[in-house]
Structure 1
Amino acid sequence: MVPTVRAAGPTDAAGVVALLRAARPHLVVTPQVLAWQATGKPAERFGMLVGLGVRLAYARVVDEPASLAFAERHGYRSGRRNVILGLDLATAVLPPAPAPPAGVRLVTAADLPDPRPLYEADLAAAADEPGDVGMDEISFGDWRAAYWDRPDLDRALSTVATADGVVVAFTVALTDGRDRYLSGMTGTRAGWRGRGLARLVKHASLGAARSAGLRWAYTLNDAGNDAMRAVNAWCGYRPVAAEWRHLRTLHE
């Protein structure tokens, strides 16, 4: 059989997911997400097409010589390293739940009457997050389409800490509808850091995931983000893989 290369479409989603799950068992991915990325409102954001005016392509490359060499040959330059961490919720012993600071209460994303406070907290937390690609320019409408409305977002497991109606910390949970859970993003507003809020929201979300019957929990950790590495180690996560973020300039 002669291999062919063509543009992927919605009908390819199931086959691509099967391949990804076989090649990288820690991925949390579903056919619905791939189809949504290809045809839904955020298709342009995920498509990375030059005709749309994209100038910078972003890729995640497995931390192995062959994959890194392939990316380099195709014009990508290496950025920051991610460590992928895993946790078996069926056997892990979670630490005791921390007590919320005075004036802080925990709710789920499903409890929010309006997602805008979470959007505002996401932008605030991401402002100084280690990384190669920022999101400080994203509008509420684009954020809602790309993050809040994505089909694998589990709002009941996504946990937020609020104070006087303001979201001060949060962790976003993505699930595959079977047995896998991924921490999509955990963040704390700058003025609220150092009070254990990241541990608080992650612990609550992981406990809820276990109660919901999920087995495998994963999270990505920037290798240089020591504060979040400490939080994840406290939760019981252990390294299972690594990858490098890569960037390629499409037009000067």
Structure 2
Amino acid sequence: MTVTVRDFRPADAEAWVRVRRAALPYMVTTPGQVLYDLARAHPGRRYRLLVAEEDGEVTGTAQVGLSHDSPVPGQGFCNVYTDPERLGRGAGSLLVARAEEYLAEAGARSVYTWVPDEPADRAFAVKRGYEPRRPAHFLHLDLANGTLPPLRDAPPEVELRSAADFADDPRPLFEADAEATADEPSDTPAELADYDDWLATTWHRPGFDRALTSVVLVDGEVAAFSAATTDGLTRYGTAMTGTRRAFRGRGLAKLAKNDSLHRARAAGYTDAYTGNDAGNDPMLAVNTWFGYTVCATEVRHVRTLV
């Protein structure tokens, strides 16, 4: 039984999602999203998908590229996941080697990767020269059986809307997203400066649910938001919850997220997922208030390419 690595093909989309869901069930992923992300990636991202194959079956996946929106040049990323039932057969090692080779050719000086916080996974990364950095948590909320905080009336100057209301001009949401993203704790901070790229990779991305994305306006200005992604079936994910700097400390992020979660449950979604940097205490406190619990942890690792 020989494991080989090759480029992703459109026909692999269903198998890709199967492997990712088996290895990382806390992410909301669909075949349509995988195909769209590859087709619409920014040229500067040098985005590439790889698959490991054994006896004609996809057993591993890798997302590879450059962090083109980071102010620090030369930062690459490589996220590898193997079918849990096919571990130890070499798929992960082959994917990492091919990804590093590609990134070196693309001009990367360092490679960042997310590694499950399990002894075997962390040992796999360290053995290949990766050093641990900051952890992040996946969190889960049982929408079907859990209890959400009750909806509360907004103050007179505050209005709740959905992203669908901004269909004619989503730029105010882009500006709020850019400000919130700039303040997120990360080893590879991002700067959202390209509106057209944001439209392509966020606003028009399959799975981005405008109807369930809640937006808080204060005196008519976008102040906070909670962006929702869905698989169109049962799974709901929070892509980002953020508040613009001038409006922080007023509970507006809670207001937006609570509104989105209630509408997601009413729409029939049964499981809600989100992710937080382990050092993001304010957002972790918000999610604990909603009833989310940590279901897994990953640790960001980095390797310097010679």
Alignment TM-score > 0.5, same fold: yes
Q: State the match for 1:62 in structure 2.
A: 116
% identity of equivalent residues = 49
Deviation at 1:211, TM superposition (A): 0.8
Q: 1:83 to 1:39 in 2, by over 3 A?
A: same
**1:32 matches 2:87:** no
TM-score (norm 2): 0.76
What SS does the aligned partner of 1:155 have? coil
Q: 1:43 to 1:12 in 2, by over 3 A?
A: farther
Q: State the match for 1:111 in structure 2.
A: 165
Q: Could you say what the CA RMSD is over the residues aligned between the two structures, in angstroms?
A: 1.9
**Pairs aligned (count):** 251
Residue in structure 1 matching 2:199, options 144, 154, 158: 144
Q: 1:56 to 1:117 in 2, by over 3 A?
A: farther
Measure, in 2, the Cα distance between the counterparts of 1:72 and 1:140: 38
Identify which of structures 1 and 2 has the higher relative contact order when contacts are C-alpha pairs closer than 8 Å and 6+ apart. 1
Gaps of 5+ in 2: 49-64, 66-101
User: Equivalent residues in 2 for 1:1-252 (5 A)?
Assistant: 1-42=1-42, 45=45, 46-47=47-48, 48=65, 50=103, 51-112=105-166, 113-250=168-305
Measure, in 1, the Cα distance between the counterparts of 2:165 and 2:206: 18
Deviation at 1:148, TM superposition (A): 1.3
TM-score (norm 1): 0.92
Q: Which amino acid aligns with 2:178?
A: L
Q: Which has the higher strand share?
A: 2
Q: Which amino acid aligns with 2:273?
A: Y
Measure, in 2, the Cα distance between the counterparts of 1:227 and 1:130: 12
Gaps of 5+ in 1: none
Deviation at 1:57, TM superposition (A): 3.5
What SS does the aligned partner of 1:205 have? helix
Deviation at 1:145, TM superposition (A): 1.7
Q: Render the CA deviation track for 1:145-170: whole Å, top value 9, x for unaligned.
A: 22112111011111111123321101
Deviation at 1:72, TM superposition (A): 2.7
Q: 1:108 to 1:58 in 2, by over 3 A?
A: farther
Measure, in 1, the Cα distance between the counterparts of 2:285 and 2:10: 39
Structure with max Cα Rg: 2
Q: Which amino acid aligns with 1:3?
A: V
Q: 1:180 to 1:132 in 2, by over 3 A?
A: same
Deviation at 1:44, TM superposition (A): 5.5
